[in-house]
Amino acid sequence: MRRALGLYAVAFYAFLHLPLVVLAVFSFNASRFTLWEGFSLRWYQAAWRDPQLAEATLNSLIIAFTATALSTVIGTLCAYGLWKRGAPALSGSLYLSLVTPEIVTGVSLLAFYQWVFRYLHFELGLHTVILAHVAFSLAYVVIVVLARLRTLDATLEEAAMDLGATEWGAFGRVTLPALAPGIAAAALLAFTISFDDYVITSMVAGVDSETLPMVIYAMARRGANPVVNAISALIVLGLGGLVLVSERLRAR
């Protein structure tokens, strides 16, 4: 039974990881086709020279950095506010935002933006994408930070205040430093899901705000293209690294 379980585990992990490994291996293939013809970096060079990819990557980075900064600050404050006493209505809407299918979040934001644009003179663009990303990543930040807060001793703050610290002082100099790894883990997670999002982004992006996942999606639909393998390998490496760090921070 033990042996069987071990063998199964090998197959299971192969199923989880091999598709990504194979994808990465073939990004170094000299041939355009799926037969191995030797090592080459030509697809990476092609990806590097593609101006559309460069612009989309820049957009994705701008969106992910801005949205992460906003949702990390807002989410951390929110988690702190929920720590000692719950707010069922707010928690409820955060839960709801987690279980709402992405496509529904996307179309409802689209409908909402169109409705607002009737009264205000705005258009879809990077800003609408950033706002959408803040909204859908907020719940993740709150969960991660709150999990960390729950491991802290709430009486430490009271002790600080007994010793003369103000509320702000106790928060800023006692709780916040202890919370830092949790906040960093939350930020990395928020960055990852923002950088990777296609479904919601594609609904609320304007003509000038194409993101990297949108370009990959379009290329993947058009047909086999080893350039996509190259970008995919880079994304897996980059985001995988972020997630690894995030997991480590959370385990601390």
Residues 8-27 that bind another protein (CB under 8 A): 8-9, 12-13, 15-17, 19-20, 22-23, 26
User: Tokens 């996509």, residue?
Assistant: 228
| Nearest distance, CB of residue 216 and another protein, angstroms | 6
In DSSP terms, which residues pair with 39 in a beta bridge?
Answer: 29
Site for another protein in 46-85 (CB under 8 A): 71, 73-75, 77-78, 80-82, 84-85
Q: At 30, which amino acid appears?
A: A
Neighbours of 8 (CB within 10 A): 10
Report if residue 206 touches another protein, rule: CB under 8 A.
no
Q: How far is the CB of 106 from another protein (least distance, A)?
A: 8
Q: How far is 145 from 247, CA to CA, in rounded Å?
A: 13
Asked if residue 216 binds another protein (CB under 8 A), the reply is: yes
Q: Which residue of 54, 103, 176, 180 would you call a contact of another protein, by CB under 8 A?
A: 103
Q: Give the separation between CA 169 and CA 164, rounded to whole angstroms.
A: 9
Among positions 83-102, residues that touch another protein (CB under 8 A) are: 84-87, 90-91, 93-97, 99-102
Rounded to a whole number of angstroms, the minimum distance from the CB of residue 165 to another protein is 13
Q: How far is the CB of 77 from another protein (least distance, A)?
A: 4
- Written as six digits, the tokens of 180 are 């830092």
Report the C-alpha gap between 181 and 173 in whole angstroms.
15
* Exposure of 237 in the CB half-sphere (CA atoms within 13 A): 11
